[in-house]
């Protein structure tokens, strides 16, 4: 697994869970309780859910549940997760990287499958700054791996997706960012046919930010 980063872009799009924030314990506890309640294997749920909107996971595992009831389940799960903040931490170097980009005036967006309230709660708990532009689950009809969220993130920055770099850790999110046409940087260890040839960093600690001829360069 090659870990390398050298990218020049006009703007930056960041996933949250697994990319900027480590909320693994909370996610596993929430989906574990859900699996136990419904007689489902939490390992299968976690394998599918990472990077996806909660409603898509509920639909996948409870397809016969009426839509209104699925929405109620989502609201209950999200409310529970918003209250859980113990153990949330930043992915090493995430806060410093975002601050460096924002201080240089780089356009930055948070692009997450989480609902907005949950995203803001987790970012605050991890001590990672929230950029002005946030694309959350409520903002797009089709969640990751569809490209909608990254296309919208770039649009809200006033940029083309092809001029942006996207940081992602999960297969669904990586596929979304690739489909949107961004320059994708994989954070962590996810490997698949989708990640072949993409830039990669284990975390953000070694990333150096500079401004060159009006654009922004990230190297590690």
pLDDT in tens, the chain (220 residues): 556 789 999 999 999 999 999 988 888 887 788 888 889 888 888 888 877 888 888 899 989 989 998 888 888 887 877 777 778 999 999 999 999 999 999 999 999 999 999 999 999 999 999 999 999 999 999 999 999 999 999 999 999 999 999 999 999 999 999 999 999 999 999 999 999 999 999 999 999 999 998 899 999 9
Among candidate residues 10, 15, 199, 203, the one labeled active-site is: 15
Domain boundaries, the chain: 6-22+88-219, 24-83
How far apart CA 13 and CA 26 sit, in angstroms, is 24
Domains 6-22+88-219 and 24-83 share a fold: no
Tally helices (H) and strands (E) across the chain.
8, 11
pLDDT at 54: 85
Beta bridge partners of 13: 109, 166
The radius of gyration of the chain's CA atoms, rounded to the nearest angstrom, is 17
| Other CB atoms within 10 Å distance of the CB of residue 51 | 26
β-strand 6-9 against 215-219: which pairing, if any? Answer: antiparallel
pLDDT at 111: 98
| Other CB atoms within 10 Å distance of the CB of residue 36 | 10
pLDDT at 2: 53
pLDDT at 18: 94
pLDDT at 169: 96
Give yes or no for a contact between 18 and 187, defined as CB atoms under 8 angstroms apart. yes
pLDDT at 1: 54
Please report how the helices 54-61 and 42-49 are oriented relative to each other, as an axis angle in degrees rounded to 10.
Answer: 140
DSSP H or E stretch at residue 217: strand 215-219
Among candidate residues 6, 10, 17, 64, the one labeled active-site is: 17
Q: Does the domain spanning 24-83 belong to CATH 3.40.50? A: no
- Give the CATH number of domain 6-22+88-219: 3.40.50.1000
Is residue 10 annotated as part of the catalytic site, yes or no?
no
Q: Which pTM value belongs to this model?
A: 0.87
- Locate 182 and state its tokens: 């961004």
């Amino acid at each position: 697994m090659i870990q390398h980063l050298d990218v020049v872009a006009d703007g930056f799009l960041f996933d949250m869970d697994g990319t900027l924030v480590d909320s693994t314990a909370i996610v596993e506890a929430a989906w574990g309780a859900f699996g136990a309640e419904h007689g489902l294997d939490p390992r299968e749920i976690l394998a599918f859910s990472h990077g996806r909107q909660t409603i898509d996971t509920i639909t996948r595992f409870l397809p016969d549940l009426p839509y209104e009831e699925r929405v109620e389940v989502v609201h209950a799960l999200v409310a529970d997760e918003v209250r859980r903040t113990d153990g949330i931490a930043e992915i090493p170097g995430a806060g410093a990287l975002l601050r460096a980009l924002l201080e240089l005036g780089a356009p930055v967006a948070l692009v997450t499958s989480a609902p907005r309230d949950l995203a803001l709660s987790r970012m605050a708990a991890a001590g990672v700054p929230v950029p002005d532009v946030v694309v959350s689950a409520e903002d797009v009809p089709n969640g990751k791996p569809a490209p909608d969220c990254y296309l919208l993130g770039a649009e809200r920055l006033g940029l083309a997706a092809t001029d942006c770099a996207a940081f992602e850790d999960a297969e669904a999110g990586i596929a979304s960012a690739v489909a949107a046409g961004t320059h994708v940087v994989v954070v962590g260890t996810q490997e698949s046919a989708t990640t072949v040839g993409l830039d990669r960093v284990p975390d953000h600690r070694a990333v150096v930010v500079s401004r060159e001829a009006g654009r922004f360069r990230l190297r590690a």
